[in-house]
A and B are shown apart, each in its own frame.
Chain A
Amino acid sequence: NAGVTQTPKFRVLKTGQSMTLLCAQDMNHEYMYWYRQDPGMGLRLIHYSVGEGTTAKGEVPDGYNVSRLKKQNFLLGLESAAPSQTSVYFCASSANGMSQETQYFGPGTRLLVL
């Protein structure tokens, strides 16, 4: 089991460029999440999905879009990157949305927007 994987590991973008971050999980989890991690702020939820074909906004969704066409994949898109989107992005998954469920995290994608 690879668990949760993310590609790419690192990317540099210029302001205004677009890109897609890919998250894949092989645990047959229903729920998937995208977080961003900024110094001194912990993790903040960008978007999430409760199942294939569904997505919803989290705490900080502006400037991002997501898609969940397949159960195992959750894509995060930046249509027009801004320096404020420089961050480390983590994907996570959980078996379901029960409050006691543990989340499993990917290794992260470090994004620098110049």
Chain B
Amino acid sequence: AQSVAQPEDQVNVAEGNPLTVKCTYSVSGNPYLFWYVQYPNRGLQFLLKYITGDNLVKGSYGFEAEFNKSQTSFHLKKPSALVSDSALYFCAVRDVTGGFKTIFGAGTRLFVKA
């Protein structure tokens, strides 16, 4: 069965410091992996996705994520955090053979302090 784990409920980081939001997954086949961000009182917005190819994926707002097949991880990273990055981040996975069914992680709240 597909599953996604975001082991941290909350991540705190100072503005200007690098940030990492962790995600691990489990699928029976090859994964398609996604990161979405949710700002207060808003819907989820797509950040980036891994389909195939380069393990380092670059997305919106300076975010990037690294696909690590051996560790079944897809951690979200940014070299220098901004206060405006404070939001709820969701990792999601689809099995390549499983069509559109998407499994979302529970979410990680990121707080960036000025």
**A interface bracket (residues with beta carbon within 8 Å of B):** 20 to 34
Contact, CB under 8 Å: A42 / B104: yes
Most buried by A among B32, B49, B96, B100: B100
**Which of chain A's residues has its CB closest to B94's CB?**
A99
Give the residues in chain A near B9, CB-CB below 8 Å: 40
Mark interface residues in B79-114 (1 if CB within 8 Å of A CB, else 0). 000000000001000111011111011110000000
Give the residues in chain B near A98, CB-CB below 8 Å: 99-100
Give the residues in chain B near A104, CB-CB below 8 Å: 46
A-B pairs with beta carbons under 8 A, tally: 57
Cα A102 to Cα B36 in complex, Å, equals 10
Given the known interface contacts A42-B104, A43-B90, A108-B42, the answer about A102 and B34 at a Cβ–Cβ threshold of 8 Å is yes
Query: How far apart are A41's CB and chain B's nearest CB, in angstroms?
Result: 6
Contact, CB under 8 Å: B98 / A105: no
Give the residues in chain B near A106, CB-CB below 8 Å: 43
| A:72-112 near B, CB below 8 Å | 90, 92, 94, 97-108
Contact, CB under 8 Å: A4 / B43: yes
Give the residues in chain A near B32, CB-CB below 8 Å: 99-100
Cα A43 to Cα B4 in complex, Å, equals 12
Task: Indicate whether B13 reaches chain A with its CB closer than 8 angstroms.
Answer: no
The chain A residues found within 8 Å of chain B, CB to CB, are 4, 31, 40-45, 48, 90, 92, 94, 97-108
Q: A44-B104, A107-B43 are in contact. List 8 more A-B contacts (CB 8 A).
A: A90-B43, A90-B44, A94-B100, A97-B99, A97-B100, A99-B32, A103-B44, A107-B41
